[in-house]
Amino acid sequence: MQFGLSEEQEMIVSTVRSFVENEIYPHEDVVERSGEVPIEVAERIKAKTLELGFYACNFPEEVGGAGLSYLEFALVERELGRGSMALTHFFGRPQNILMACEGEQQEKYLFPAVRGEKMDALAMTEPGAGSDVRGMKCAAVRDGGDWVLNGTKHFISGAEHADFFIVFVATGEDQTPRGPKKRITTFLVDRGTSGFTVRDGYKSVSHRGYKNMVLEFDDCRLSDAQVLGEVDGGFAVMNEWLYATRLTVAAFCVGRARRAFDYALDYAAQREQFGQPIGKFQGVGFQIADMITEIDAADLLTLSAASRLDAAVPANREIASAKLYASEMLARVTDAAIQVHGGMGLMDDYPLERFWRDARVERIWDGTSEIQRHIISRELLRPLGA
Ligand SMILES: Cc1cc2nc3c(=O)[nH]c(=O)nc-3n(C[C@H](O)[C@H](O)[C@H](O)COP(=O)(O)OP(=O)(O)OC[C@H]3O[C@@H](n4cnc5c(N)ncnc54)[C@H](O)[C@@H]3O)c2cc1C
């Protein structure tokens, strides 16, 4: 792993930082208070991102993306993490799994997604199947030459703006010595398909304006042309393309924590009690010291895991450690930032109570902290036969 960024990478960081400060921060209050992203704001963010050449920056150049390395993409996500997720959603980063599109699927889904003409959403989770993906009940069965899909997905982010959905569905079951094991297939499903409804989901305390929705499939008929990858090959595409998405959560957490830290540092230097800046009291100064140490540690874990991906060496454990540590670090840092601000930390005059609320989901989505610990411990123990 190399320490220090190249001139080009520094440029990526400063460009995205300015974008977030100029195009995202000014709209955060409106989104927070209304729970909605005004359409004209969403369109402006998208247009500016396209203009800068950052739209779909996580895709290779040969399909029209910016061809960033994993490390560079982590730097982009880190800067975007400073801003409201509801707004940075329009700094489009389509799901990498679309790289599995073949033939006509590329014209219909991949290229329009990369050009910002269509938006996608990814649907795996169900009311009865979260961490246990294979426990899904959503199933497609053969009928003539088609597939007929029934079931429900919930907690689907970005569904409100999605033109199409990447949906994981059970398409059979194998009997194994450890019991029945579902076979999973990935489908590309257009909004508006007969038998497919998108409805409002739950109201979350984290990331107001970045809504989650419920997808319902009621005898929804799909063709073989809508299968992404191979029939029964859902886990293969998932493992190949969704492997690294947890790293974007880690990078987001680092960026968000640095923004919270900046508020805490400034307040500790300015706020006076007992005739001196509160930062001079060891009780506050040491909190500041712990915050920055943890943020730097999470940053290095994240960039190190990204470098491993760039070097094409195994990174599963390292990605899990980065996601685990960075999301738990963000919870501690946002909590400490409020503590440093005293009562004002809880008031919505500052964005700190929002950062604190937003932080809560990071330990849950893209694999809970417990699932990350499971991945880490299995990677270490399995080679020892345990
Ligand atoms: C706001 C929001 C947006 C989301 N967006 C999407 C999306 O766009 N697409 C999508 O598909 N999903 C999405 N999710 C789903 C998310 O990935 C799941 O919530 C997550 O995987 C956990 O599943 P669950 O909520 O069903 O919890 P469960 O799996 O029911 O877990 C409950 C508790 O049990 C623990 N647990 C479960 N299994 C184990 C185990 N083996 N060992 C130890 N502990 C365990 C968990 O860690 C957790 O503490 C979103 C969730 C939220 C909250």
Q: Are residues 298 and 208 in the same domain?
A: no
Distance from residue 249's CA to the centre of ligand 1 (Å): 14
CA 314 – CA 321 distance, rounded (Å): 13
What percent helix, strand, coil does the chain show, rounded to 5? Answer: 55, 20, 30
Based on the structure, what is the number of domains in the chain? 3
**What does 17-47 look like in DSSP terms, one character per residue?**
HHHIIIIIGGGHHHHHHHSS--HHHHHHHHH
Q: Does residue 106 belong to any structural domain of this protein? A: no
Write down which residue in 185, 203, 235 finishes a domain.
Answer: 235
Under a CB-based contact definition with an 8 Å cutoff, are residues 16 and 57 in contact? Answer: no
> Is the beta carbon of 365 within 6 A of some atom in ligand 1?
yes
User: Do 294 and 344 have their domain in common?
Assistant: yes
Which token pair is 53? 């050449």
104 falls within a domain: no
Judge if the beta carbon of residue 361 lies within 6 A of ligand 1: yes
Q: Examine residue 103 and state whether it is found in any structural domain, yes or no.
A: no
Residues 258 and 144 in one domain: no
- Asked if the structure places residue 114 within a domain, the reply is no
Tell which atom from ligand 1 comes closest to the C-alpha of 168. Answer: 11
CATH number, domain with residue 322: 1.20.140.10
Residues 200 and 171 in one domain: yes
- Do 55 and 34 lie in one domain? The reply is yes
Q: Is the CB of 364 under 6 A from ligand 1?
A: yes
Residue 105, in any domain of the structure? no
Based on the domain organization, do 207 and 314 belong to the same domain? Answer: no
Residue 211 maps to a domain:
yes
State how far the Cα of 160 lies from the Cα of 212, in Å rounded to an integer. Answer: 8
Statement to judge: residues 274 and 373 lie in one domain: yes
H helix or E strand, kind and range, residue 146: strand 146-157
If you take atom 4 of ligand 1, which residue's CA is the nearest one? 155
Residues 201, 307 within the same domain? no
Residue 275 and residue 203 share a domain = no
Q: Is residue 229 domain-shared with residue 251, that is, in the same domain?
A: no
Q: Is 167 in the pocket of ligand 1 (CB under 6 A)?
A: no
Q: Is the CB of 86 under 6 A from ligand 1?
A: no
Ligand 1 atom having least distance to the Cα of 121 = 8
Establish if 2 belongs to a structural domain. no
pLDDT in tens, the chain (386 residues): 667 899 999 999 999 999 999 999 999 999 999 999 999 999 999 999 999 999 999 999 999 999 999 999 999 999 999 999 999 999 999 999 999 999 999 999 999 999 999 999 999 999 999 999 999 999 999 999 999 999 999 999 999 999 999 999 999 999 999 899 999 999 999 999 999 999 999 999 999 999 999 999 999 999 999 999 999 999 999 989 888 899 999 999 999 999 999 999 999 999 999 999 999 999 999 999 999 999 999 999 999 999 999 999 999 999 999 999 999 999 999 999 999 999 999 999 999 999 999 999 999 999 999 999 999 999 999 999 99
Beta carbons of 43 and 55 less than 8 angstroms apart? no
The neighbouring-strand residues paired with 196 are 217
3-class secondary-structure state, position 274: coil
Say if residue 186 is in the same domain as residue 254.
no
Helix (H) / strand (E) element for 276: namely strand 276-277
Query: What integer pLDDT is reported at residue 243 of this predicted model?
Result: 82
Measured CA distances, 126 to 102, 141, 186, 211, 314 (Å): 27, 18, 15, 16, 30
CB atoms inside a 10 Å sphere around CB 223: 10
Domain boundary (179, 206, 235) is at: 235
In the listed set 79, 95, 111, which residue is the last one of a domain according to the structure? Answer: 95
Strands 179-190, 212-222: pairing kind = unpaired
The enclosing domain of 167 has a CATH number of: 2.40.110.10
CATH number of 17's domain: 1.10.540.10
Residues 31 and 81 in one domain: yes
305-313's contacts with Cβ under 8 Å and 24+ in sequence apart are 305/247, 305/250, 306/69, 306/70, 306/71, 306/73, 306/74, 306/247, 306/251, 307/1, 307/2, 307/70, 307/71, 308/1, 309/70, 309/244, 309/247, 310/69, 310/70, 310/71
Residue 106 sits at the vertex; the CA angle it makes with 103 and 109, to the nearest 5 degrees, is 135
Confirm or reject: Cβ of 327 under 6 Å from ligand 1.
Answer: no
Is 346 a member of any domain?
A: yes
The DSSP call for residue 348 is: T
Helices 316-341 and 245-270: angle between axes, nearest 10 degrees: 20
Residue 315 phi, psi dihedral angles, 5° rounding: -140, 10
Q: Give CA–CA dist 173/2, Å, rounded.
A: 46
Query: What is the C-alpha separation between 207 and 181, in angstroms, rounded?
Result: 35
Cα separation, 192 vs 170, in Å, equals 22
| Range of the structural domain that residue 378 is part of | 242-384
- Which helix (H) or strand (E) segment holds residue 306: the answer is helix 282-310
Map residue 259 onto helix, strand or coil.
helix
Residue whose CB lies within 8 A of the most ligand 1 atoms, among 368, 370, 373, 374, for a mutation test:
368
